[in-house]
Structure 1
Amino acid sequence: MNAFQRLRRQRIAVATRPFQARGGSIIRCEGCGLAEIHCACALKPTAIPAADFCLLMYDTEPMKPSNTGRLIADVFPENTSAFMWSRTNPDSDFLALLRNPLYSPVVVFPESYVREDEARQVLISANSLSKRPLYILLDGTWSEARKMFRKSPYLDGFPVISVQPDTLSAYRLRVAAHDNHLCTAEVAACLLQQQGDLAAATVLQDWFSVFRERYLMLKSRHKKE
């Protein structure tokens, strides 16, 4: 069981009412999150990336079938952690991870949101870091991610890195605010590409393509029906 799957179980266990999402009535595989009739567990790859990833997830995000943060944990199970976001009471294990001397934590967010009056480093590449990068991914809707970025004082001291995608997002599992907004898995793949880790980036992109294709197969079928 990877970090996302553990967090998902924890979040469901404390839910006070059933989570109602589009496609929520579909029987899904616990392993890959796809409808059981389109299960892709047999195709799931793994790789060892040149960085670690931390999914900081907003409220019900772990329970959404369309979430792609889970794909990062699928492909990099030994190099991905996942925690629920809290403005005032962050997980103690998450704070301990930020203090781990093996890592250089980096917040992944568009640099345009860093205020001019902030004494905050903006990185072009993680290759300038002295330690292994720990990419902190704010996983939620665009408005939720902005809130997390602005209201997480325990992240304020860490540098920010943006991704520079060459193509528009292929994500069509949820409606994005803008066409060039990438989903979480695409962001992670871009970060690895920027770091020069093309092998791990390709494995993640390929798994994202499989997930997306099979997710949309069922979505198209429901529209026809």
Structure 2
Amino acid sequence: MKIILLTHQKELTRPSNTGRWVKAVLEERALVIPWDRVNPNSELTQLIASAKVGLLFPELPAQPSLVVGSIDSAERIDTSIRLESDTFSNFDALVIIDSTWQEARKIYNRSPYLKQLKKVSIDTKVESIYQLRRNQLEGGLCTAECAAHILSQVGELESAESIMKCLQEQIAHKMQ
């Protein structure tokens, strides 16, 4: 399984970026694609057209008539599925939007090709250890935590642990 980090331009230079640990650990199994609103990345759009690609997307509380207004007024919650290890066999790659939560919403809303992807979410009660940014989504995980959780569910425990170790070192360094 590939992890595709669709990365906001600003994220590429932020010292607080955690997607870099995913790329460092997974190397060629992680693809970092800078997001461009006007010119979608051709490698990504070709991959979406030719492979089974899913989008990691936060799951909202299940309410039959609830519409996700902050994301897309026409998008209903039942389009997401819980991410379990047996679900991974349905995908060749997963896209993680690597940015702040506010930027991630904009990327999703301005990228029609993302809206056509099957959405998956992480079913976890674990709180994020990453508290270095303001305006974090309650219950939200950073990019590195998402990737580590996915990898641990597919049995790639060593890679998951390596990513989390890098993240913990980044947090410890910032706290000094």
TM-score of the pair, normalised by structure 2: 0.80
Match of 2:21 among 55, 71, 75: 71
Give the alignment of 1:157-168 within 5 angstroms. 157-168=116-127
Residue 135 of structure 1 aligns with an amino acid whose one-letter code is L
Equivalent residue, structure 1, for 2:32: 82
Equivalent residue, structure 2, for 1:109: 57
Match of 2:174 among 196, 206, 215: 215
The 1:179–1:116 alpha-carbon spacing in structure 2 relative to 1, beyond 3 Å, is closer
Match of 1:174 among 130, 133, 138: 133
Which one has a larger percent strand, Structure 1 or Structure 2? 2
Residues 136-189 of structure 1, C-alpha deviation per residue, up to 9 Å, x if partnerless? 011111111112222211122211111133321111222242453211101111
Q: What fraction of aligned residue pairs are identical, expressed as a percent? A: 30
Checking the alignment, whether the CA contact within 8 Å between 2:57 and 2:80 is kept in structure 1 is no
Checking the alignment, whether the CA contact within 8 Å between 1:125 and 1:161 is kept in structure 2 is no
Deviation at 1:83, TM superposition (A): 1.4
Q: Supply the distance in 2 between the matched residues of 1:211 and 1:100 (Cα, whole angstroms).
A: 36
Where does structure 1 differ by over 6 angstroms across 4 or more consecutive aligned residues?
none
Q: Supply the distance in 1 between the matched residues of 2:85 and 2:118 (Cα, whole angstroms).
A: 10
SS in 1 for 2:12: helix
Match of 2:109 among 150, 162, 176: 150
SS in 1 for 2:5: strand
Checking the alignment, whether the CA contact within 8 Å between 2:98 and 2:104 is kept in structure 1 is yes
TM-score of the pair, normalised by structure 1: 0.64
Residue 111 of structure 1 aligns with an amino acid whose one-letter code is E
Q: Which has the higher contact order (CA 8 A, sep 6+)?
A: 2
Alignment root-mean-square deviation, CA? 2.4
The 1:176–1:194 alpha-carbon spacing in structure 2 relative to 1, beyond 3 Å, is farther
Runs of 5+ consecutive residues of structure 1 not aligned to the other structure: 1-50, 218-225
Match of 1:141 among 89, 100, 103: 100
Checking the alignment, whether the CA contact within 8 Å between 1:121 and 1:158 is kept in structure 2 is no
The 1:89–1:162 alpha-carbon spacing in structure 2 relative to 1, beyond 3 Å, is same
Equivalent residue, structure 1, for 2:84: 125
Q: Supply the distance in 1 between the matched residues of 2:96 and 2:21 (Cα, whole angstroms).
A: 13
Bigger Cα Rg? 1
Runs of 5+ consecutive residues of structure 2 not aligned to the other structure: 61-67
Residues 115-142 of structure 1, C-alpha deviation per residue, up to 9 Å, x if partnerless? 2288x45343252354553110111111
